[in-house]
């Protein structure tokens, strides 16, 4: 059945892929700050939305309330790379930067909290089978292996881990609160997805994965398909890893 889907952060590397795939069958509404190269179709609409702004989030969900969203996917994130690009102060190279910590928590945790808040306020309907998927990471409950980032131009920040770990607690709280009302909340936590990282990085990373390879977009998307389907009806409050075994050692 065709669903109305809200995809927050649907313009990035993975978000774009999800938007394209989902819109083959469903009505998809992408909200993001970076809509530059986003395709629009009959089934795919886009909206500029910065999730650091509560008023704007509220009005976005309010505007769409006449026909409620069946599904909310919170895929946006201030990744470490994005934080380093957007933060202009000297602090950007400090691994203990309070500015990066505050910004990251503001987008990754407060922003997701607000999207859930206004989804519930304006779209939650007891008679509808609704789904919320909050996107986490393997680095929420498992630390990055710091050594593999030593010679790279990027790394994964303490703030990223802390904010994504918070999402798990938030999701479990919401899942139990709304379980009887047919709104299922879950976290989907991917491992690193191949995106032309350096050969040396991929070599080091692969050694940490029992499957011995990085993920691809379609493997993560398969889990989204499952979580929005009837087949996942009895699954709530879970943190589901799609990680080639990274968290299984």
Binding site for ligand NAD (CB under 6 A): 9, 11-15, 32-34, 49-52, 75-79, 82, 107, 135, 137, 190, 192-193
* Smaller CB separation from ligand NAD, 75 or 97: 75
Closest to ligand NAD by CB, 105 vs 179, is 105
The smaller minimum CB distance to ligand NAD, of residues 88 and 180, is found at 88
Q: Measured from the CB of residue 193, what is the shortest distance to ligand NAD in angstroms?
A: 4
Closer of 126 and 145 to ligand NAD (Cβ): 145
Task: CB nearer to ligand NAD: give 174 or 224.
Answer: 224
> ∠232-238-242 over CA atoms, to 5°?
80
- Under DSSP, the state recorded for 33 is S
Contact 209, 148 (CB under 8 A): no
Which DSSP category does 194 fall into? Answer: P
Asked if 236 and 182 touch (Cβ cutoff 8 Å), the reply is: no
> Tokens standing for 241?
């890893």
Instruction: With residue 85 as reference, give the H or E element that holds it.
Output: helix 80-86
Min dist CB 183 to ligand NAD, Å, is 21
The minimum distance between CB 63 and ligand NAD, in angstroms, equals: 16
Read off the DSSP letter of residue 168.
H
Which residue of the chain is nearest ligand NAD when measured via CB? 12
Region for residue 232 given its phi and psi (left: phi exceeds 0; alpha: psi -120 to 50; beta: otherwise): alpha
What's the closest the beta carbon of residue 126 comes to ligand NAD, in angstroms?
29
The H or E element that residue 158 is part of is helix 158-178
| Least Å from the CB of residue 75 to ligand NAD | 5
């Amino acid at each position: 059945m065709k669903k109305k889907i809200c995809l927050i952060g649907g313009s990035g590397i993975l978000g774009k892929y999800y938007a394209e795939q989902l819109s083959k069958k469903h009505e998809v509404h992408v909200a993001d700050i970076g809509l530059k190269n986003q395709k629009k179709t009959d089934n795919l609409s886009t909206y500029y939305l910065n999730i650091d702004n509560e008023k704007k989030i509220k009005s976005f969900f309010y505007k769409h309330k006449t026909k409620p969203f069946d599904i909310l996917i919170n895929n946006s994130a201030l990744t470490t790379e994005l934080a380093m690009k957007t933060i202009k102060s000297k602090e950007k190279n400090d691994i203990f930067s309070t500015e990066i910590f505050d910004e990251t928590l503001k987008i990754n945790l407060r922003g997701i909290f607000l999207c859930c808040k206004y989804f519930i306020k304006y779209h939650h309907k007891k008679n509808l089978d609704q789904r919320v998927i909050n996107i986490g990471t393997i680095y929420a409950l498992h630390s990055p292996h710091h050594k593999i980032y030593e010679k790279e131009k990027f790394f994964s920040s303490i703030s990223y881990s802390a904010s994504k770990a918070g999402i798990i607690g938030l999701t479990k709280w919401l899942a139990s609160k709304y379980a009887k009302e047919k709104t299922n909340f879950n976290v989907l936590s991917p491992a690193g997805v191949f995106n032309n990282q350096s050969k040396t990085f991929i070599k080091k990373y692969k050694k940490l994965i029992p499957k011995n390879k990085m993920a691809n977009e379609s493997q993560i998307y398969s889990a989204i398909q499952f979580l929005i389907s009837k087949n996942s009806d009895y699954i709530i409050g879970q943190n589901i890893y799609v990680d080639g075994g990274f968290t299984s050692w």
